[in-house]
Amino acid sequence: MSLHAVAVPTFVQILTSLTKVLDKAEAHATAKKFQPDVLLSSRLYPDMLPLTKQIQLACDFAAKGCARLTASEVPSIPDTETSFAELKTRIAKTIDYVKAFTPAQFDGAETRNVTFPSGPSATTTLTGQQFLNHFSLPNFYFHTVTAYDILRHNGVEVGKRDFLGTF
């Protein structure tokens, strides 16, 4: 199975469901009569990143993961979103970016070396297969699940089906 067949549909599926979860969060806030943007700074624990940053990072792991696997230029995306609408736009742009990669661009990615930042002043090199399975996808899922959990913790009525979306 090609890395394209693993990465692209997975990123698109979960990012699409993340948009729908954000829609539910906004509807929840409206129904409970509080400003939806209050949720954007919510965290599971004080030392964890807020909802906005979780979504930004999920988008980054999808976009930058595909770029690195295809030896494409890694996009630089500033973290400027301050509303649900802006976060949904970022997700939509990430989906479009990821969907634009062709299977041919991933040819040889399994064994190609991928070097990526792994800390403030460190880099790591893995094969494409290792990079996708042990770094890119786990980080992507971590941040999408954490975003989902922040919303669920704040009373947004979402379930596993909302997280998984349509496949």
Q: Please give the mean pLDDT across all residues of the chain.
A: 96
Res. 99 pLDDT band, cuts 50 70 90: very high
pLDDT for res 96? 98
Q: Which two tokens stand for residue 89?
A: 């736009």
Percent of the chain at pLDDT exceeding 90 = 96
Three-class DSSP category at 126: strand
pLDDT-derived band at 1 (thresholds 50, 70, 90) equals confident
**pLDDT on residue 79:** 97
Q: Where are the domains of the chain?
A: 3-164
Q: Give me the mean pLDDT over the 13-36 stretch.
A: 96
pLDDT of residue 119: 86
Give 87's contacts (C-beta < 8 A, 6+ positions apart).
22, 40, 52, 55, 56, 81
CB-CB contact of 8 with 66 (8 Å): yes
The DSSP annotation for 104-119 comes to GGGTTTTTSEEEEEEE
The CATH number of 3-164 is 1.20.120.450
Q: Taking 90 as the threshold, does the pLDDT of residue 167 lie above it?
A: no
Question: pLDDT grade, residue 48 (50/70/90)?
Answer: very high
- In this prediction, residue 10 has a pLDDT band, given cuts at 50, 70 and 90, of very high
Report residue 134's pLDDT band, with 50, 70 and 90 as the boundaries. Answer: very high
The pTM of this model reads 0.96
